[in-house]
């Protein structure tokens, strides 16, 4: 039985995935690497440093950069990303998400967040949703980012539920893999999962309850 729902953030609650793409594309371009939307799909859900390493490997220049260089390049990307986030407001919540969260809350279903983004609390504050989330898993406290299951396991622990009583919602293949790795039932937004939906406006308690049957 579903007693808790665990959300990914970027691409599920709000479309910050497009800001990550802009900031990575600009940084990559400065390094002489061109990335496109298809390659960007492989970055979704992947922690900041791992994303940068993937870009450098894609450009065939990973060996040119030391760990310190990588840290400062990742900081640079994050500074640009944070500038893009400044405009974010309640209007940027994806369609149906707030209504769905309210429906879950009024049915006593716990709400967790399993994003590997270190910017998650800032984003949720800007969207005015932070008060409605019972637990935000801290990515700095888990050993491995997606596609490892750690962040989903931590989110389930934080809302006090067994994995079998939870369902996770993701827009990225890495996130669906992470859920499958811990046997969490999955809803995919535009990505194949146990239950696949086209968009966030299709989410409702009735729809996700299909996973209980
Ligand atoms: C999410 C996004 C990724 C991003 C990661 C880290 O998983 O889908 O694109 O790289 O968070 O985000 P951060 O805000 O910490 O750089
Ligand atoms: Mg996502």
177 labelled as ligand-binding?
Answer: no
pTM for this predicted structure? 0.94
The whole-number average pLDDT for the span 105-132 is 98
Ligand 2: centre distance to CA 172 (Å):
5
Architecture (CATH level 2) of domain 17-85: Orthogonal Bundle (1.10)
Helix spans in the chain (H): 17-30, 37-41, 48-58, 67-85, 97-106, 120-126, 150-158, 173-181, 205-208
Q: ipTM of the assembly? A: 0.98
Q: What is the pLDDT of residue 213?
A: 81
Q: How is the chain split into domains, by residue range? A: 4-15+90-212, 17-85
Task: Name the pLDDT band for 188 (thresholds 50, 70, 90).
Answer: very high
Phi-psi region of 24 (alpha: psi -120 to 50; beta: other; left: phi over 0): alpha
The whole-number average pLDDT for the span 116-131 is 97
For residue 44, give Cα distances in angstroms to 2, 117, 138: 26, 11, 18
Q: What is the pLDDT of residues 154-178, one digit of tens each?
A: 999 999 999 999 999 999 999 999 9
Question: From the CB of 77, is ligand 1 less than 6 Å away?
Answer: no
Question: From the CB of 174, is ligand 1 less than 6 Å away?
Answer: no
Ligand 1: centre distance to CA 43 (Å):
8
Question: From the CB of 200, is ligand 1 less than 6 Å away?
Answer: no
Strands 110-113 and 4-7: parallel
Q: What is the pLDDT of residues 21-69, one digit of tens each?
A: 999 999 999 999 999 999 999 999 999 999 999 999 999 999 999 999 9
Q: Homologous superfamily of 4-15+90-212 in CATH?
A: HAD superfamily/HAD-like (3.40.50.1000)
């Amino acid at each position: 039985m579903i007693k808790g729902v665990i959300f990914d953030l970027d691409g599920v609650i709000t479309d910050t995935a497009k800001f990550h793409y802009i900031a990575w594309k600009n940084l990559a371009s400065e390094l002489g690497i061109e990335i496109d939307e298809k390659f960007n799909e492989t970055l979704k859900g992947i922690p900041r440093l791992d994303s940068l390493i993937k870009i450098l490997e894609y450009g065939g220049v990973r060996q040119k950069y030391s760990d310190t260089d990588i840290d400062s390049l990742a900081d640079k990307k994050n500074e640009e990303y944070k500038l893009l986030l400044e405009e974010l407001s309640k209007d940027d919540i994806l369609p149906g998400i707030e209504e769905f969260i309210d429906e879950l809350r009024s049915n006593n279903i716990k709400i967790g967040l399993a994003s590997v983004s270190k910017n998650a609390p800032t984003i949720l504050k800007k969207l005015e949703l932070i008060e409605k989330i019972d637990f935000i898993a801290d990515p700095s406290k888990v050993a491995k980012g997606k596609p490892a299951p750690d962040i989903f396991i931590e989110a389930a622990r934080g809302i006090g539920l067994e994995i079998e009583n939870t369902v996770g919602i993701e827009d990225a293949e890495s996130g669906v893999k992470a859920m499958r790795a811990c046997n969490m039932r999955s809803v995919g937004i535009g990505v194949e999962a146990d239950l696949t939906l086209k968009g966030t406006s299709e989410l409702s308690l009735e729809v996700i309850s299909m996973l209980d049957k």
